[in-house]
Amino acid sequence: MITLIVVFQVIITVRDYVAAIPESIYQSLNILNATRFERFRYVTWPASLSGIISAFRLALGTAIATLFFTEVYGTQFGLGYFIMDAWYRLDYPAMYGGIIVISLVAFILFGLLNLAERYLVKWQK
């Protein structure tokens, strides 16, 4: 379910970043007789890498929300179900504990994306 919702969001965002690369850079490489793979390796990949990470960052928020709603309405397992079950039982400490756990998971995943961006896209600060 998460993949079906998130994959198109990532594809469209990455497509837009690749389309924003100036054509003049590719023309310079064409003059140097660069192959299609060389154009991808030396221009398209580095220029769109920050866009790919941004797309993952946006998709992560959508994925966490989708995970929550899928667990609430589709299963009897997971943090989403746990949070809503605690709410129905008026067990507010457990409910807020579940919310804190899912927030920490999202925070850690965002932190990992920030580390990946810092490591992979060193030329942007």
| pLDDT of amino acid 7 | 93
| pLDDT of amino acid 93 | 94
- In terms of Cα–Cα distance, which of 26, 23, 21 is closest to 50? 21
Token pair for residue 77? 């397992």
| pLDDT of amino acid 125 | 65
**What residue ranges do the domains of the chain occupy?**
2-120
Alpha-carbon Rg for the chain in angstroms: 20
| pLDDT of amino acid 74 | 83
Flag residues of the chain having pLDDT under 50.
Answer: none
Angle between helices 2-19 and 45-74 (to 10 degrees): 160
Report yes or no: 51 and 18 within 8 Å, Cβ to Cβ: yes
Topology adopted by domain 2-120: MetI-like fold (1.10.3720)
Q: Distance between CA atoms of 105 and 81, rounded to whole angstroms?
A: 16
pLDDT in tens, 70-86: 888 888 888 888 999 99
- In terms of Cα–Cα distance, which of 44, 41, 39, 36 is closest to 17? 44
